[in-house]
Amino acid sequence: MLPDWQNLSLKEQIGQMVVVRASGHLFDHQIRYPTWEPPAAKLRSWLQDLNLGGVILLGGSAPELALRVEQLQNWANLPLLVAADIEEGVGQWFEGATQFPPPMALGAIFAQNPAVAAQYARKMGAITAQESIALGINWILAPVVDVNNNPDNPVINVRSFASNPTTVSHLAAAFIEGTKYYPVLTTAKHFPGHGDTSTDSHLDLPILPHSEERLSEVELPPFIKAIAAGVDSVMSAHVLIPTWDQHHPATLSAPILTGQLRQRLGFEGLIVTDALVMGGITKHTSAKEIAIMAVAAGADILLMPQDPEMAIDAVYGAVQSGRLSIEIIHNSLERIWRTKNKVIYTNSILNLSKNLIRPESRYAAAEIVKASMLTGGDLPLKLGKSNQKRRNLIIVDDLLNCNFLHRHVPAVTIPQKLGYQVQLADQNNVILEQNPPDKTLLQLFIRGNPFRGKAGLNLPTQELIQKLLNRGSIEGLILYGSPYVLDWLRGEMPPNLPWTFSYGQMPMAQAIACESFFGLSDLAEEQYETFL
């Protein structure tokens, strides 16, 4: 059990309400995001001198992460909450662990067979929780319960289970139920809903202009279901909802966090802000005011403030001046202590060999990839004359930021064995060609992601695809990621053109998609087994 929080000074109590970003790597020279991830000396000082409550980690291999968590826990004065944005399994950000396709893959299965989809969601939750505990992560920042009914949503997109609240509600609850076998926390996000927006809150403040009736029918039901399923925390959205608060985004709104979430929905767990370095909130007011207003609104955890020491000082000063009541701080500490005692001392590197990585976990991910995959046209592709020049044109959103694409992945190696020469491009440098090769296999890795500001194909990419289709140069297409892009492509392609769609972009999904597309089970099986 934790020592009594009432023995802490007021500043130490407030420090427990702050969670900072840290690299999952062990060494400073490995840090990839220095703007957000402090070097070791500063991070150690923060944990010890400010008595911070937790960290959110990104990056590193799974075994490295286990050592990193052990290091951070040893630095801290009190046991830490260790969080990660692992919406698609631990392997989404930590190499070697299991990665699932994005949640919308489960939504696609649900449309055909709800019972099977719910079973997969429970299994995904259980595997994510089991691997998290093995590595020292005790706080899963998932599931996303936003209803993505806006195809142009650049940031939620396939991170959502579906475009309707019924599907989202059932699958989110099933995921949460699956985690209950392990002492790990879950998070429903982003309250009260970020699905029907066309603005990325990492960059600017979205507005959700809906009525009370519409919010009650679409946005709120998945949160209600998640709370009933026992979700431990709810993350706020940096979204303005004039129906409930005309002046403040949800993260800074007492009518929304306290009025709607606490009082109307009866949620008694932790309320955590979305990252306080995001443009949707930093453009609203100063960093000091953000910290004070979030606590006043009802947030228990301030996630990634721009400067944790400044945030703590700001909240401390607001209590001293009477702007914030001491009861608000004490109520948050009660909730934090109750939550920490649920997961404390459960994480140990000794769990690593026993729980990470079990073959059946990766086979479960493969089953979801297969069950959600779509195909069309004259499949499998029948290769023509060998003297024709063939290229494997792979287009991604950003070549400098795609961890699913390397020289050895199936999207490259399988077509290579069939005589295709690889050509890579991203949407920032696609050019219209004068003399394309005789035949093009087009592979697109396109989906919504934070900080991109867009979710689909840009105009130059659309023009290139249309030009190649008009010339008859494209002999087949494999799309990984967004079903909304598939909708556009199906309106442009001839009906007999072979195509395969996979929600997943990781190497395992590539192997499965290529196996289906080329009908080369023997060739793909070796690749497939390699990535299982």
Average the pLDDT over 135-148 and give the result. Answer: 97
Q: What is the pLDDT of residue 345?
A: 54
Classify domain 373-530 by CATH number: 3.40.50.10870
User: Residue ranges of the domains in the chain?
Assistant: 28-61+78-349, 373-530
170, 190, 194, 202: the active-site residue: 202
How many CA within 13 A on the CB side of residue 282? Answer: 11
Question: For residue range 296-313, what is the model confidence (pLDDT) as tens digits?
Answer: 999 999 999 999 999 999
348: pLDDT confidence band, cut at 50, 70 and 90? very low
For the record, the structure tokens of 261 come out as 């979430």
The alpha-helical segments, DSSP class H, found in 286-409 are 287-297, 308-321, 326-343, 352-355, 359-372
Active site residue 202: yes
Residue 159's pLDDT is what?
A: 94
pLDDT band per the 50, 70, 90 thresholds, residue 204 = confident
Annotated catalytic residue within 200, 232, 274, 300: 274
pLDDT band at 352 (very low <50, low <70, confident <90, very high): very low
Q: Tell me: the pLDDT tens digits for 444-474?
A: 999 877 766 677 899 999 999 999 999 999 9
Nearest in space to 520 (alpha carbons), one of 509, 530, 532, 528: 528
Evaluate if residue 349 carries a pLDDT over 60: no
pLDDT band per the 50, 70, 90 thresholds, residue 202:
confident
Residue type, 207: I
Distance CA 45, CA 22 (A): 13
Residue 528 has pLDDT above 60, yes or no: no
| pLDDT one-digit tens code per residue, 30-80 | 999 899 999 999 999 999 999 999 999 999 999 999 999 999 999 999 999
Mean of per-residue pLDDT scores for the chain: 92
CATH architecture of structural domain 28-61+78-349: Alpha-Beta Barrel (3.20)
Cβ atoms of residues 278 and 238 within 8 Å: yes
**What does the pLDDT read at residue 398?**
86
Contact 43, 22 (CB under 8 A): yes
pLDDT band at 357 (very low <50, low <70, confident <90, very high): low
Per-residue pLDDT, averaged over 341-348, amounts to: 68
The DSSP line for 100-117 is PPPTHHHHHHHHH-HHHH
pLDDT of residue 235: 98
Q: What is the pLDDT of residue 288?
A: 96
CA-wise closest residue to 268 among 278, 276, 258: 258
Q: Residue 248 is which amino acid?
A: H
Closest CA to 84 of 196, 185, 232, 170: 185
Average pLDDT rounded to a whole number, residues 172-196: 95
